[in-house]
Amino acid sequence: MTYTIGIDVGGTKVLGGVVDENGKIIATARKDTPRQGGRALTQTIADTAIELMSEHTITSIGVSAAGFVSSDRKTMLATPNIADWNGVNLDAELSALIGLPVVIENDANAAAWGEAKFGAGRNQNHMMMLTVGTGIGGGIVLNGELFRGAFGIAAEFGHLRVVPDGHLCGCGARGCFEQYASGNALLRHAREAISASPEIARNLLSRGDGTIAGLTGQAITDAAREGDPVALAAFNTTGQWLGAGIASLSVLLDPSCFIIGGGVIDAGEILLKPTRESLERTMPFAGKHPYPTLIAAELGNDAGLVGVADLARV
Ligand SMILES: [Zn+2]
């Protein structure tokens, strides 16, 4: 058995894990993400790896982070949410600090690979994954391989335009998919319903600080599980958008399945059922071809770490 390390760089924490050939995490280390980003963050990643290397023999290291990664998997081209990291040749900087080969991958791509190899997408040659959290991340596995595109922005499904001149997105464009079908969109749909008729939302608002601004995705999920109509309607609207987007995506690459991950999938069938209904209702050439299945992700927050550890395996 050989071991690699996967390191998942998040907004608040850097989580490292020693992973075996079967995708099993056998040790972990965690550090706070330094706010200043840049070299401090690179050093934190190296420290995390070195801590894990002290007790295990490691062959290579993978690092996943939100951002655009060069097609040779060495350089972070742009990291919208991490300071002072644009254009950094992480492979060179980390290899110098750690002394092992390093592979860099976009976090949603890494998660898709983790699920494809060890999770919900096992045995699926063609699959797409949507990580539905604050936004929507995406990953594509074709012919059993991760598809990266020419310039590192493949599978940014969250920024497909679904509404002409719709809501302004963080990417600078308008009407992006993630403005309608993400965790933030779930909150938006709930807030719009509450604003329209505040008296129906007492139960939902009582789970937070009583204000619309204080509403959280977790509160909506909890309320939906107990049958709260406002929360269920917000999931229903989110699922309608999600399913219609997936129907469009399926005619692009015809995958056998879509794996839905990210925080919003904690709601399980509460999200998947309206998504499936919408997929079937909006599918082009309805009834004339097999439809992809929708599956909840299995690896949760570990998907990126496990996936990038495997990608680092040569
Ligand atoms: Zn966008």
Rounded to the nearest angstrom, the distance between the alpha carbon of 237 and the centre of ligand 1 is 19
Rounded to the nearest angstrom, the distance between the alpha carbon of 67 and the centre of ligand 1 is 13
Rounded to the nearest angstrom, the distance between the alpha carbon of 82 and the centre of ligand 1 is 17
Residues in CB range of 61: below 8 A, 6 or more apart: 4, 5, 6, 7, 49, 94, 98, 100, 101, 102, 103, 312
Rounded to the nearest angstrom, the distance between the alpha carbon of 175 and the centre of ligand 1 is 7
The 10s digit of each residue's pLDDT in 150-164 is 888 899 999 999 999
Question: pTM of the predicted model, to two decimals?
Answer: 0.95
Rounded to the nearest angstrom, the distance between the alpha carbon of 158 and the centre of ligand 1 is 6
Mean pLDDT of the chain: 95
Q: Say yes or no to pLDDT of 314 above 80.
A: no
Rounded to the nearest angstrom, the distance between the alpha carbon of 179 and the centre of ligand 1 is 8
Rounded to the nearest angstrom, the distance between the alpha carbon of 176 and the centre of ligand 1 is 5
Instruction: State the pLDDT confidence band at 252, using cuts at 50, 70 and 90.
Output: very high
Rounded to the nearest angstrom, the distance between the alpha carbon of 155 and the centre of ligand 1 is 13
Rounded to the nearest angstrom, the distance between the alpha carbon of 160 and the centre of ligand 1 is 7
What pLDDT does residue 29 have?
98
Domains belonging to the chain, first-starting first, are: 3-114+302-311 (3.30.420.40), 123-297 (3.30.420.40)
**Of 135, 161, 146, whose CA–CA distance to 105 is shortest?**
146
CA distance 267 to 72: 37
